[in-house]
Every structure is written in C-alpha cells, then in structure tokens.
Structure 1
Amino acid sequence: MTAISGTGPHRVLVTGATGFVGRSIVQGLVGRGHTVFAGSRGGEALPGARGLPLDVTDPGSVLRAVGEADPDAVIHLVGIIQEEGAQTFGRVHVEGTRHVLAATPRRARYLHMSALGADEQSASRYSATKGEAERLVRESGLAWTIFRPSLVFGVGDDFFGRVLRELVTAAPVVPQIGDGSFPFRPVSVEDVALAFAGALDRPETAGQTYALTGPEEYTFRELLDQEQAALGQHRPVMPVPLALMNLAVPLMQVLPHPPITRDQYAMLKAGNTAPNEPARTVFDLPMHRLPERLPQIVEAARRR
C-alpha cells in the first residue's frame, strides 16, 4: 500500500463536492493550498476549485473526471439519505464507490465518507449499503482512510435544518418516538472538514477507520428540546409508542415527501453515538458544540 507523502499541496478530486459536507471540505482544502477539483453531477465550480462533471453511477463519467483531475488524492463523499427512482442506496453507495475505487490511481490517497452505524447486517438499507461500501474500500489495495460521522450539523444541514425542524413545528404537539432515549452525538461540519483535510497531512492514518462525533451526547428527547429552544417555541412533547410508529411509518411512504422514511426511522431507533477519540486528538479537532450553532442553523432554514 503506497500513497502520497504527508507533504503538500496535492491535487485533490472531491466527489459530491457541492453537497453540504462537500462545500466545507473543498473550502478547507483550498485554504490549505491544495489544487482542488470539485466533482458533481452538474460540474459546478466552487470558490478556488474547478468544477468537473462526475456522476458516480456512470463509470465513464468517473473515469473522465479522474483523467482530467489526475489526482494524487481522492475524497469520496457521495451519498443519499432517501432513495428516489434510479438513485437507490445500492446504486449510489455500493456501485458508485466501486466505480470511484476502480478509477482512482493506485498511487493516490483515498478518503472515504461512510456513516456511524455502517453495517452490512443493518436493518437500514442506508446503513447496510454504507457497510458494503466500506468492505469494497478495505479490499481496494489503496491507501485508504474511512470516516464515520454521526449526525452532521451546520448551516444548510438536512437533519437539524429540515427533518427535526419540521418534526417540532408541524403540529401543536411535538411527537416523540418511543421514550426518546435513543442516544446521539452530533458533530459539526467544520470538525468533519478538518478531519478530512488533516488526513492528507498524516500518512499514518492510512488503513484506519475513525468515528467522527461531537463533544456531547444527547437523547432524542433532548434533541427535540434543543430544537424547540433554538426556534423559541415551547410546544408540549407527546410520546408515540413504538408499536404505533411501526404501523404509521410505512403508511407515510405513500406521501410525495414523507416526514420520515423507513430508513430514517430505523436509524433513529438505533441511535447514533460513539466516543470522539481518537479522531479528536489525531486531527486536533476543536469540537464545536451543537447548542451554540442551532440558532444559526434554524434561522438560515427559516429564511430558505
């Protein structure tokens, strides 16, 4: 297993560069002086980064982007939260990863965005396909590093800026799934971006898998309370028995935009937490706190 040395700057291709996490990672890489190529389906350029059309489900598109970028590091971020038409978890997470791995130069460093809870045996197709993708990465022969972030928060995020916000504002009472005890350890998008950029400077992190979690653990009920506080509202919280949720969630899927998908429900019940070591120390992460950022997140979501 050989790869670029820890000294930079490098030519870095980022897949999924125009997404919520991707934009922060690109910004951090550009700030460190790397030559960055922002790969996305639309080929949009980002500040300081050249845009390249890159559809991970199309192996030809991936090969063309890699050929143009000629990267000595590839950061693969593409993932979906909800399946839509041909964009299935298997096609995007597994086959997309397979295409990127096949196109990545053997000399290149490879950094992979997975997810906390990735497990091929998971009841969640999202988590199961993330686990399948991790196996492909480990078998690739590349100098890889896998990151498993928990819920990622920041302006523009999907969970705190949309899913949880809609959950606490949609009705006069706030529905709480079960007893609300499921644990979570959200991590800031800034900490995630620092970890990815830091891995390029640390060849010794090749072959390692890191959980990316924040400084504090919260129950689901506490997250509901935090979201309400950030919104300045105080609606009563009503526990919904899991038996009822198990019946209601499948029925919600007939809606054009269900408030919660089957996979999101399975992941919520499983919780999403892990210690923030060794990533915090290895990458010297500042560990931004959720309560300090939530007001900004919900205000930005309100303006949108």
Structure 2
Amino acid sequence: MRVLLVGGSGYVGSHLARFLLSQGHQVTVASRRGEGPVAGVRYVVADAARGEGLDEATAGQEALIYLVGIIRERGDQTFREAHVEGVRHSLRAAQRAGLRRFVHMSALGASRGTGIRYFETKAEGEELVQSSGLDWTILRPSLIFGQGDEFFGKILRGLVAAPLPFIPLIGDGGFVFRPIWVGDVAAAFAQALERPSTLYRSYNLVGPKEYTLRELLLLVRDALGSKKPLLSIPLALMDRLVPLISPLPFSPITLDQYRQLKRGNTADPTYMRQAFSLEERPLEVELPHLLGVRRRAGA
C-alpha cells in the first residue's frame, strides 16, 4: 500500500515508517523540512497547519496517517495549529485526491470539557475526522516509550538527573499511567490499515501494566543508578507554583502538562486486544535502552 505519513519525521513517525517499510508498504513522509532519518522513505515538503504542499503529497497515495502532535506550544507551533487546523487541511487534501483511508493519531484522554488545551484540541481534531466522510480509524495512545521518546528519555530523566539532592515528586505521585511501547503503537497503525474491522472506530492504545508516577520515577532512578530520595512537593504548593513558572521559556513543566499529570493516563486494554495483535512489550525491558544505560550482569 502507498502510505503518506503527515508529520512522520519525528519520534513516532520514524518508528512507524520503518515498520511500514518492513511490512512491504511504500512510505512517503510529509513534513515542514521534507527530510528525515529513515532510508527507503520518500520525504516531501508540506506544512499541514497552513495547508501547503498537501495536494502534491497526497497525489497517488492510498492511505494517509496523520501524526502531527506537540506536547508544548512554542512560537507559532500551537495546539490548535497542530491538532485541529493540520487535521482539517489534511482531510480536505485527501478528499480532493480521492484518497479514502485516513488513520488519525489522537491521544488517550482527548475529550471536551477537560480544561486541558492539549486534550481539547485533540478531541476537536477527532470530531473533524469522524465527520469527514472518509474511511477513518482513530488511535489514542497513552504515554509512548521507546528510543528517542520525550517523557521518559527527557522529562523523567531530567527530574532524576537534575543537580538537586532529591528527586521532586508531585504530591504523593499516585497518578496512574499505562505507557505503551512505540513498537506496539507502530504495529497498531499498520494493522489498522489492513483490517476492515477497524473502520469507523476509535481505540485506546495502552501497555500491559499500570504504574503510578512515583513508580515510574523510581524505575528511571534505579535504571540510572541514582540513590537520591524522592521528595514530595505538596499539591497545594504546586498548584500555586506551576501557573507562575509555566510561561517562562525555561520552565520544566507547563500548566497544561501539570494538569495532564494530575489526571493520570490509563484505560482498559480489552478492546485494543480484540482489534490488534501486539507484543505488549513492558516498560522494564526498554527502559535501560531508551535511557542509554547498560544492564548490569544478572539484572
């Protein structure tokens, strides 16, 4: 199948492109720079948020997978541009090209009324897909872990490695997450293309095990060989502090990210397992690799 990945030059897109190539698909990636790291992929220049270059990119394609997503707004890269306008322009380009199959990467927790702009704009993007008249599937991954990821490889690692005598913990760290391996995410997208049973359906993509935020920090700490204790920062203090530091360019967390953390991110995997055949690789297997540390003998 000839597959176009819009926004496919980043972390998830690069993993997905490699997986699709391994399954015999022809892969084109459309991004603002028109370049990427995967050999065998055709890279083209397009800006989904502005609707530029999409007609050329969709020509001759059989399926479009929309992957554009940001977790933090910077400059002209806003949640609305990435999660709503980019979807709108991509749907219209697909319709003009006569391209029917559209797979959309949303996010676990996307819904209206949350007060979290990331989730609100993801939900608005889903609504556009569902009303498009195309043959759509929506996939909502939880936290995605793997080589090159943002949350484990940068955010949690940064908290552990910060030049402090302790590791800061938000409240008691009891917020629950169910992270999923990037290889399983790639497999789910590929299988969605191949399985008619996934048409006009939305799926939550989650891993095999739930963890609290405290447990995730301890896993990262132990993998990095640190012995620093965790220090709980009361939620009442965080609720006052985060809005003050969030607008600063060097802030380690935005208000939107803080609200997401307090909600947790988990779901029942039953429906996902009925639709897809996934390895469900656990976090503990990949964590040393994505953190760039070697396993100790006998570990």
TM-score of Structure 1 vs Structure 2, range by shorter chain? over 0.9
What does residue 66 of structure 1 align with?
Answer: 58
Report SS of the residue matched to 2:52. helix
Q: Provide the rounded CA distance (Å) in 1 between the counterparts of 2:16 and 2:94.
A: 19
Kept in 2: contact 1:13–1:75 (CA 8 A): yes
Within the alignment, does 1:245 sit opposite 2:238 as a pair? yes
Q: Find 1:78's aligned residue among 58, 68, 77.
A: 68
Displacement of 1:99:
0.4
> Which position in structure 1 is the counterpart of 2:186?
193
Choose which of 26, 29, 35 in structure 1 pairs with 2:26. 35
Conserved? CA contact 1:22–1:77, under 8 Å: yes
- Deviation for aligned residue 1:248: 1.2
1:214 aligns to 2:204 (yes or no): no
1:128 aligns with 2:104: no
Q: Which residue of 2 aligns with 1:91?
A: 81
Segments of 5+ residues of structure 2 without an aligned counterpart are: 294-299
Normalising by structure 2, report the TM-score: 0.94
Read off the aligned partner of 2:35 and give its amino acid letter.
E
Structure 1 residue 11 displacement after superposition = 0.9
CA distance in structure 2 between the aligned counterparts of 1:286 and 1:53, rounded to whole angstroms: 34
Extract unaligned runs of 5+ from structure 1.
Answer: 1-9
Residue 12 (structure 2) aligns with: 21
Within 5 A, what are the aligned runs for 1:159-198? 159-170=151-162, 171-198=164-191
Rounded Cα–Cα distance in structure 2 between residues aligned with 1:216 and 1:43: 37
Question: CA contact under 8 A between 1:279 and 1:285: conserved in structure 2?
Answer: no
Alignment counterpart, residue 256 of structure 2, candidates 249, 252, 263: 263
Residue identity matched to 2:72: Q
CA–CA distance in structure 1, aligned partners of residues 51 and 105 of structure 2: 19
Instruction: Number of aligned residue pairs: give it.
Output: 289
Question: What TM-score, normalized to structure 1?
Answer: 0.92
Kept in 1, the 8 Å contact 2:171–2:235? The answer is yes
Other-structure match for 1:150? 142
Cα displacement (A) at 1:254: 4.3
Identity %: 49
Aligned residue number for residue 287 of structure 1: 280
Q: Deviations over 1:165-224 (max 9, x none)?
A: 111221211111112111000000000000000111101211010110000000111111
Deviations 1:2-22 (A, max 9, x none): xxxxxxxx1110011111000
